[in-house]
Structure 1
């Protein structure tokens, strides 16, 4: 339990920090990619779509899972709070509230990371949709214009 007390915040916030760094890197890389994108260089719309959506699944996954990583930290913090209270064998409402309040900071951090990740993902997917539409407009015979055959 002492190991958990010592390294819970470091582990959770370290993981959230790494996720945030990766999300920022992907977002910047994709924005720069879209600025330099020349759809005329692609001979097939599928290749264009593959290139445009590269790394976006990772960005979406970070946005979707960051709150869960934060929640894991909160559950660990609550576990530590209750363990410490059990060791003291006394009920001090101040220490309970302090422990619970500190535990919730991990969830707040996870949500704070998730919101801009999902916003960036949605914005980038909008760019993908726009470029796909432009490609279809320039290549009317493209397979992107034909309905899927079942």
Structure 2
């Protein structure tokens, strides 16, 4: 029966000049159309996130490269921070958090061990905040990647149910009657996969990049923490 159904679907496609996505959408049931439209909107948003993330991540990495190179060459970290006015760079925010805590602990007599812990804590917090900002939209990719195939499958099941209902109403069990409706229903699953596949690939790839960038920020924070605590011990 499966082979007969596929053959009927192929014959239907051949008679209509091939599978026309627009015609499949327009001829589908209103419920299936709503599911298709939702999946298409999700796919558009997925690709928007992919493009914007790539552009943003590239810009952030270039600015961080430039900032870090100049930062370690500077004679005075705070002067460099003020002159360059790069507080919007993730590394600049981490450095700003550490330098601010350093200034608060450098005046008066403080517990060196407590000061080291506070500086490390506030910089680690800044690292986490910057990583969260970069990954704030990635959860949508994960959601689409896991949910879209099932949403498309629901549309397929609904369309197939309607096709079999039409068979009963017309009292015609010919596969040629049900094949067009099943083709429209299966199109919903195809759109679901079209939205899910790039979302899953992008989520895995971008999560790896964010994790790598967070590790880079953490290394920068560790090096700065060591430099600041050495200065703190000299006071």
Please tell me the TM-score bracket, short chain as reference: 0.7 to 0.9
Aligned length: 138
Encode CA deviations 1:34-85: one digit per residue, 9 max, x unaligned: 1122331232211111111111111211111111121121011111101101
Separation of aligned partners in 1, 2:129 and 2:39? 33
Q: 1:60 aligns with which of 126, 142, 162?
A: 142
Unmatched tracts of structure 2, length 5 or more: 1-27, 65-89, 95-125, 225-235
Which is higher, the Rg of structure 1 or of structure 2? Answer: 2
Unmatched tracts of structure 1, length 5 or more: 143-150
Q: 1:42 aligns with which of 52, 75, 93?
A: 93
TM-score, structure 2 length as denominator? 0.54
Q: 2:43 aligns with which of 20, 28, 44?
A: 20
**Residue 144 of structure 2 contacts residue 196 of structure 2 at CA under 8 Å; is this kept in 1?**
yes
**Residue 40 of structure 2 contacts residue 191 of structure 2 at CA under 8 Å; is this kept in 1?**
no
Give the drift of 1:6: 4.3
Give the drift of 1:14: 1.0
TM-score, structure 1 length as denominator? 0.82
**Residue 32 of structure 2 contacts residue 185 of structure 2 at CA under 8 Å; is this kept in 1?**
no
Give the drift of 1:104: 1.2
Partner of 2:133: 51
Give the drift of 1:141: 7.0
